[in-house]
Structure 1
Amino acid sequence: MVHSVYSNKDSFLRELVSNASDALDKLRLEAFRNKDLDVDTSDLHIDIEVDTGARTLTIRDNGIGMTRDEVVGLIGTLAKSGTAELRQQLREAKNEAASEELIGQFGIGFYSSFMVADKVELLTRKAGESDATRWESSGEGTYTIESVDDAPQGTAVTLHLKPEDAEDELHDYTSEWKIKGLVKQYSDFIAWPIRMEVERRTPPAEEGGEEVVTIETETINSMKALWARPKEEVSDEEYKEFYKHIAHAWDDPLEVIAMKAEGTFEYQALLFIPSHAPFDLFNRDASVGVQLYVKRVFIMGDCDQLMPEYLRFVKGVVDAQDLSLNVSREILQQDRQINAIRRRLTKKVLSTIKDLQSERPEDYRTFWTQFGRVVKEGLLSDFDNQDALLRISSFASTHSDEDATTLAEYVERMKDGQEQIFYATGETRQQLLKSPHLEAFKAKGYEVLLLTDPVDEVWVGNVTEFDGKPLQSVAKGEVDLDSGEEQSEAEREEQEKEFTDLLAWLKETLSEHVKEVRLSSRLTESPACLITDAFGMTPALARIYQASGQAVPVGKRTLELNPSHPLVTGLRQAHQDRADDPTVAETAELLYGTALLAEGGALEDPARFAELLADRLARTV
C-alpha cells in the first residue's frame, strides 16, 4: 500500500516529524484550554535518535500522546483493514469533507515507515494519564498491542530499518548527514526544535596524540519561518539569504512580497521577484512554482498550481493552515482553496510590479528587461488579469530610440482624432523601422509600437483594445491616416481609373501569390508592400505555429502599390505599351519579391527571383 501512495521513500521522515509537530501543537493548545492538565510545556521538542549497531531510528516527541483506543482507531484499524479496504475508502471519499477524514490521519503517514523498516514499534502515553501503550507490527496486516506502566509523556516511533544490503548510500537512514539533509529539506521551518545527538571530533592537541570524540545534542532545524514574522522585523540580509536558499540563486531579489490571509482559510506567503532571469526560464523541463508548506511542513518544492505559468520566475513559500492534500501530501487536489490562493497571489504580484513601475522606474526597467517576454505570455491565457497585464507592460516605439513606453503613455500622446493604437510586429527594431508599412505613419507623425518578441505575434490577436482604443496592425487591413493633406475624392477616383488596368493585370499575373492588388495610402517611399486581411494570420505567426508542429493554412495577401513611385508608374506605362512583352511580367514578379523581402519575409522561389534579377541587372551594365 505505501509504495502505491508515496513516490519517494524519504517522505517517511517528513511524515513522522509532521505527526510529532502536530502532537506538540495539540498539547500546547490543550494546556491553554484545560488549566487543570498537569503537563510541563516548558521544553516541547522532537528528538531523533539513531542506533547504528541495531539499525534503528527513533522519532520521539513529548506532545499530547495517545490512549490505547486512539492507537487502535488511528493506526490499528488501518493495519487490520489492509490495502484493499483503504483503497476502497479512498475511492468512496468523493467529497472534500469525506476525504479529510482519511487524508492527514496519523495512520496514513505513519505507515510510510514500512517503506524503510521491516518492523515498527510505537510507545505512547496520553498527557495527563498514567497508562501507556506499546504497539508493534511488521506491516503484514497484523499487529500486537499492550498496556505498559512506565513510559514518558508523548509518542516514540522506533523503526527497525531494513537490512543494510537493501539500502543504497543515498538511503542510509542511520547516517547523520542523511538525517540532517532530510530535516533541512522537509522540516527546517517546523516551529519546534528537532534535536539529534551528533559526534564532535577534536584533533589531537599535539602530534601523536589521540583524537577526542564527544557527543553533543544539536538542534538540526532552523525554526526560522521568515514568512510568519512581520516584515519590519526581518532584515534585508535575512530576506536575501532566504531567497538564495530556496531559489538556489546567486543574485539578490529585486522585490520581496510578504502577505497574510485570514478568514475562511488562512495562509501566509513570502514571495520574491528575482533581479536576473534564470538560464532555464524558457525550458519546458525547468522547475517552476513556489514551495508549499502546510503548518510549516514542506509539501512540494515546485507547486505550479499556486502560480500561473507566466509568473514562473517568482520564487518563495506559501504556508497554508489547511489544504486538501492527497494521502501522501505530495499532490494538491483541485479545489476552491487552491484556486482562491492562486488568484490572490497573482493579483498581489501584478500589483507589486505596477508599484515598481510607478515608484521605482529603474527597478521596473530591470524587471521588464529580464522577464517582460514571459509576462506577456499571460495575455494569451489570463483573461481575468489581462487589463492589469497590459498596464504593467512596456513596448518599444517610434517615439523614442531608447526608452520603452506603456500603453497608457502611448494613449496620452495620441494625435487629435486618432482612434487606434498602431503597432508593427517583426524580428528586430531596425527591420521594423525600415519596413514599408511604417512609411506613411512616420511621415505623418503617428507613433507606432514596435513589437519584436515572438510572443507579440500571438498575443496581439487576443487583445482587441486598451482603454477603449482598438489595437491596429500597420500591416493588416486598410488604414486611413487623416493629416489634412489627402487627395480630394475626385483626385482619388481619377487615380483609380488610371491604374484600373494595371491592378487587374497584376492580380491575374500574380494570382498564385496575392488575392488582390490595390493602391496604397501607407506608402511614401517604397514601390509596394504586402498586407494581411484585418482578421487574417500573418506569415510570421504561421511560422511560429508551424515550428511548434501545428499545420496552419496561410492565406494569400493583398499587394498594395505606391502610385507615385517611378517603378509603379513605369510598370503602368510598360503594360499599356507592350502588355505581351515577357519582361513586363518579369517586372511584376520582381515587384512582388521585393515587397516580400522588404518586410523580412522569405521568398517562395529564391532561385527564380535571383535569376530574374541577374538577367535584369545584366541588361543595365
Structure 2
Amino acid sequence: METFEFQAEVRQLLQLMIHSIYSTKDIFLRELISNSSDALDKLRIASFRDKDLEADLTDLHIEISADPQQRTLTVRDNGIGMSRDEVVELIGTIARSGTAELLKAVQDNTDVRALIGRFGVGFYSTFMVADRVTLITRKAGEPAGVRWESDGQGSYTIDTVDGLPLGTAVTLHLKPEDTQDNLHDYTSEFRIRETVKKYSDFISWPIRMSVKRDGDSGEASEVTETLNSMKALWARAPEEVKPEEYQELYRHLTHDWRAPLETVHMRGEGTFTFEAVLFLPAQAPADIFMRGSSSGIHLYVNRVFIMDDCDALMPSFLRFVKGVVDAGDLSLNVSREILQQDRQIKAMRRRLVRKVLASLGEMRAKDAERFAGFWSELGRVVKEGLVTDPDHRDPILDIASFASTHDSDSTTTLAEYVARMPEGQEKIYYLTGSSLPVLKQSPHLEGFVGKGYEVLLLCDPIDEMWVERSDFGGKQLQSIAKGQADLGTQSEIENQEVFTALVAWLSEQLADEVREVRLTSRLTESPACLVGEEFDITPMLQQYLRAAGQGFPESKRILEINPAHPLVGALREKHAAGPDADLAETARLLLALAQIAEGMQPNDPAAFTRAMAGRLTQLMTR
C-alpha cells in the first residue's frame, strides 16, 4: 500500500465540495452513475476493437446497494475498469485543466452549481455526503485490481488487490447527519429511487438494486429491480418527452448545471434513417477557443454507443452543439477515419447543420432577446463558418447579426440592413476594428452617417477574414476605411486648390510613414484619418497575422485630411507663411492623432508624448 498527498488545488476543491455546494448534494449519485455508464460504453467499444479482450458482455449493468446499519452506499458496474496508473491520474489528481479557474469562480461568488462537472471534478462530489470513500477496480485485460481510499482530508492510499471482478465499485461511508429522515438518507430505498429517476432515468444501461418485498406467504425476500426506464429519449416522439427529461440528458452529456438554451429533436428519413437530439448551450463552454476542443456529439448505431466527440457529424463552427445522433444503417465497427469518408455520415452532417442553423433563424424571428444572448456568447464561433465552410455561407449570413450605426442598443441582420438602404446606395458599408467603443468613435463614420448611410461595426477577429470581397443579395460589402469615399468628388471640396501646396508638403514630410496625403470628403468633424487602398490588409489583420507568426507584405496607408477643419486651415496658413520645425512637428502630431482614432498607437509613442507635453505646456503657460 502507498500513501499519496492530494495536490494543493485538489485539497481546496475537496473543502469546496464539502462546504460550498451542500444544498445540491444529490448530484453525487448522478455523477457516479454517469461514470459507470461511460465505463460500460467503453467496455463495449473495446471489445469490438480487440476480439481477444476477455470481457463478458451478456449482462452489462450498474448496481446500487445500500447498508443502513453500516451507513454505506455502493455504486458498482462491470465496465472497462481502471488500471493503477489511471486511478492515480483520474482520481488522485484532476487531469483536466481549469481547477484554478473553478476555484477563482467560487471566490468570485459564481454559482458553483453551474460549474460542477465542467472541470472533471464530478467524482469529488461524493465527499459532500461521505466522510470516507473506497474505490475498487480492475481493468479489462489486467490480472490484478486496485483499491483506492481517502477521507478527503488531504491524502489517499492505493493498494494492489487480487481476485477482483471486472469493473469498478465506489463505496461511500456516509456521514451520520444524513440520517435525519428518508428525504435525506441515501441508504433509503425511496431516496435512491427518486434520485435515480430524477437524474438517470434515460441511461441506456440497467440500474439495478436489490430490495426486500413481502411474498404471498407474508415473508420478506430480496428481489432485484431495475430503477430506470432505459428508454432512448431520442427515439421517442418530441411530444412524449418532458422538458425536464431533455434537461437531464443535457446535463448527463455536458455536466452543465444550467438548462440548454435550445433543444433540437429531429428524425432523418429516406435512403437512410437517423434520430438526433441536439442542444445549444446558454453560455459558451469554457474550452470553446482552446485548440482541440471537443465537438460533443455522441454517436450511436441502433442504440449501441459508438463514440463521444464525433467531429465528423458537426463542423468546427458548431462545436458548441452537444447531443446524441443515433444512425440506423452504419456498421458497429467504425473508426474515425472511416467516418470521415462515409457518404451517409456526410449526408447526416449536412442535414444536422441545416437544422441547427434553421433553428437559430427561428429563434431570432420569434425571440430576438434570447437570440441576442446566444449571439453575444457564440456568434463569433458561428461566423468562423463563413471562412471554413463555404457550403453554408449563405445560411450563416442569413442569421448573422452585427452592431451598426442604426441602433446602438441592438444588432441587425444583413437582410434588415438592405431593407433600410436609401435609394441610390449600391453597397453595404462596414468598418472593422479592435472594439465596438473604438469603432463608434471612428472618424471614418462621420461623412457616411452624415449622409444617412448605415455602417456595420465589426469588431470580432474573424470578421477581418470573411468580410473582404463578400456580398449579400447581390450587394457588395465595402469597407469605409478603404479606397476613395464615394460621398462626393474632389471637385466638390471647396477651394481645394488652395491646399495643393500643403498637401504636397505633407506628403514629403510624412513620406516614411504614409503612402500619400490627400483631401477627403468623408470627414465632417475630425481633422484627419487613415485609409487603405481597396486590397490592402487592415491594421487589425496585420496585428493578428503578426501574432500568429505569419508574414505579410508591408504597406503604407493614406492620410486623408479634412479641408473644412480649423486645424487643417491653420496648417495651410502656417505653411503659406513659411514651413518651420514647429509645423513639421504638428504634421506628425496630426498623423499620430489619426492613428489613435482608429485604435492604433503612434509610430513613435515616446516622441508623440514629448510633443503633446510640450504643446500642453505652451497652452497652460500663455
Fold conserved (TM > 0.5)? yes
Aligned to 1:599: 598
Secondary structure in 1 matching 2:341:
coil
Opposite residue 286 of structure 1, the aligned amino acid is: S
Q: Deviations over 1:242-262 (max 9, x none)?
A: 111112111112222112222
Deviation at 1:414, TM superposition (A): 0.8
Aligned to 2:59: 47
**Alignment of structure 1 residues 375-454 onto 2, 5 Å:** 375-454=382-461
Aligned to 2:541: 541
**Alignment of structure 1 residues 479-498 onto 2, 5 Å:** 479-481=485-487, 489=491, 492=493, 495-498=495-498
Q: Rg bigger for which structure?
A: 1
Aligned to 2:520: 520
Please point out which of 126, 138, 143 is paired with 1:162: 143
In the alignment, does 2:354 pair up with 1:347?
A: yes
Deviation at 1:311, TM superposition (A): 0.8
Opposite residue 162 of structure 1, the aligned amino acid is: P
In the alignment, does 2:574 pair up with 1:574?
A: yes
Q: Distance in 2 between matches of 1:575 and 1:171?
A: 96
Aligned to 2:478: 472
Q: Check the 8 A contact 2:266/2:275 in 1, yes or no.
A: yes
Secondary structure in 2 matching 1:258:
strand
Aligned to 1:116: 140
Deviation at 1:325, TM superposition (A): 6.6
Opposite residue 574 of structure 1, the aligned amino acid is: K
Aligned to 1:14: 44
Please point out which of 290, 295, 302 is paired with 1:295: 302
Q: Check the 8 A contact 1:307/1:345 in 2, yes or no.
A: yes
Q: Distance in 2 between matches of 1:396 and 1:171?
A: 65
Q: Check the 8 A contact 2:429/2:456 in 1, yes or no.
A: yes
**Alignment of structure 1 residues 602-621 onto 2, 5 Å:** 602-620=601-619, 621=621
Secondary structure in 1 matching 2:308:
strand
Q: Check the 8 A contact 2:40/2:61 in 1, yes or no.
A: no
Opposite residue 169 of structure 2, the aligned amino acid is: W
Deviation at 1:216, TM superposition (A): 4.4
Go from structure 1 to structure 2 and tell me whether the alpha carbon gap of 1:444 and 1:243 turns closer, same or farther (over 3 Å shift). Answer: same
Q: Distance in 1 between matches of 2:440 and 2:140?
A: 66
Deviation at 1:440, TM superposition (A): 0.9
Q: Check the 8 A contact 2:144/2:160 in 1, yes or no.
A: no
Q: Distance in 2 between matches of 1:16 and 1:538?
A: 51
State, as a whole percentage, how many aligned pairs show the same letter: 51
Q: Deviations over 1:238-280 (max 9, x none)?
A: 1111111112111112222112222332211111112222222
Secondary structure in 1 matching 2:583:
helix
**Alignment of structure 1 residues 151-550 onto 2, 5 Å:** 162-164=143-145, 173-175=165-167, 177=169, 194=206, 216-219=223-226, 222-323=229-330, 332-461=339-468, 464-481=470-487, 489=491, 492=493, 495-550=495-550
Instruction: Please say which of residues 582-591 and 221-230 is displaced more in the overlay.
Output: 221-230
Q: Check the 8 A contact 2:430/2:477 in 1, yes or no.
A: yes
Deviation at 1:612, TM superposition (A): 2.1
Go from structure 1 to structure 2 and tell me whether the alpha carbon gap of 1:571 and 1:257 turns closer, same or farther (over 3 Å shift). Answer: same
Go from structure 1 to structure 2 and tell me whether the alpha carbon gap of 1:582 and 1:288 turns closer, same or farther (over 3 Å shift). Answer: same
Q: Distance in 1 between matches of 2:357 and 2:437?
A: 31
Deviation at 1:304, TM superposition (A): 1.5
Opposite residue 431 of structure 1, the aligned amino acid is: V
Q: Distance in 2 between matches of 1:380 and 1:523?
A: 32
Go from structure 1 to structure 2 and tell me whether the alpha carbon gap of 1:327 and 1:428 turns closer, same or farther (over 3 Å shift). Answer: closer
Q: Check the 8 A contact 1:267/1:318 in 2, yes or no.
A: yes
- Two-structure CA RMSD over aligned residues (Å): 3.6
Q: How many residues align?
A: 460
Secondary structure in 2 matching 1:271:
strand
Secondary structure in 2 matching 1:454:
coil
Secondary structure in 2 matching 1:47:
coil
Q: Deviations over 1:127-167 (max 9, x none)?
A: xxxxxxxxxxxxxxxxxxxxxxxxxxxxxxxxxx6244799
Q: Deviations over 1:437-475 (max 9, x none)?
A: 1111222222111222222222212x5111111111121
Q: Distance in 1 between matches of 2:320 and 2:270?
A: 28
Deviation at 1:334, TM superposition (A): 2.2
Query: Unaligned 5+ residue runs, structure 2?
Result: 1-37, 50-56, 63-76, 80-137, 148-158, 172-199, 214-219
Q: Distance in 2 between matches of 1:170 and 1:603?
A: 71
Deviation at 1:169, TM superposition (A): 8.3
Aligned to 2:118: none
Secondary structure in 1 matching 2:599:
coil
Go from structure 1 to structure 2 and tell me whether the alpha carbon gap of 1:232 and 1:582 turns closer, same or farther (over 3 Å shift). Answer: same
Go from structure 1 to structure 2 and tell me whether the alpha carbon gap of 1:578 and 1:201 turns closer, same or farther (over 3 Å shift). Answer: farther
Deviation at 1:514, TM superposition (A): 0.4
What TM-score does the superposition give when structure 2 sets the normalisation length?
Answer: 0.67
Go from structure 1 to structure 2 and tell me whether the alpha carbon gap of 1:178 and 1:172 turns closer, same or farther (over 3 Å shift). Answer: farther
Q: Deviations over 1:204-247 (max 9, x none)?
A: xxxxxxxxx98643448752211111111111221111111112
Q: Deviations over 1:24-80 (max 9, x none)?
A: xxxxxxxxxxxxxxxxxxxxx953599xxxxxx999xxxxxxxxxxxxxxxxxxxxx
